[in-house]
């Protein structure tokens, strides 16, 4: 059985608590992005592009056994890491749980406060797109 959204968020918060320095946090986010599975080229088209992101972010969702799974990629390292965090939290969850998730870990790790306003808007756009997929599959 998959971990709950809250459990995964708590794990991420614990991981980020290991870093005092903001640059170390950025390096960690970039490392997380490097571990993201490559996205099939057929999903790196405008149809899968997240609107509102400064960087290019592609997001694909599919349903399997009543759960929603996400695959993503980006053309920048930090954004790829951010979307990888979202994929880690929301992939494999039910559409209803994704729609109701508050994703408090974003603020608990002070992610948004260290992003430019454009990147912060992009983060919001990614979350909205994932919730829109969940609404469509619900």
Torsion of CA 23, 25, 30, 33, to 10 degrees: -170
* 135 in catalytic set: no
* CA–CA separation, 16 and 9 (whole Å): 11
What stretch of H or E contains 60?
A: strand 57-64
Torsion of CA 108, 31, 51, 130, to 10 degrees: -60
Active-site pick, 29, 53, 111, 123: 53
Could you tell me if 27 and 14 are in contact, meaning their C-beta atoms sit under 8 angstroms apart? no
Say how many Å lie between the first and final Cα of the chain, rounded.
20
The residues carrying an active-site annotation are 53
């Amino acid at each position: 059985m998959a971990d709950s959204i809250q459990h995964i968020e708590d794990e991420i918060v614990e991981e980020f608590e290991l870093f005092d320095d903001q640059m170390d946090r950025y390096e960690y986010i970039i490392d997380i992005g490097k571990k993201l599975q490559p996205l099939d080229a057929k999903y790196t088209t405008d149809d899968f592009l997240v609107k509102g992101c400064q960087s290019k972010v592609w997001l694909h969702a599919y349903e399997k056994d009543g759960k929603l799974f996400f695959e993503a990629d980006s053309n920048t390292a930090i954004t790829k890491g951010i979307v990888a965090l979202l994929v880690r939290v929301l992939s494999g969850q039910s559409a209803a749980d994704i729609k109701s998730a508050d994703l408090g870990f974003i603020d608990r790790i002070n992610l948004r406060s260290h992003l430019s306003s454009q990147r912060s808007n992009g983060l919001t756009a990614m979350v909205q797109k994932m919730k829109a997929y969940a609404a469509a599959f619900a």
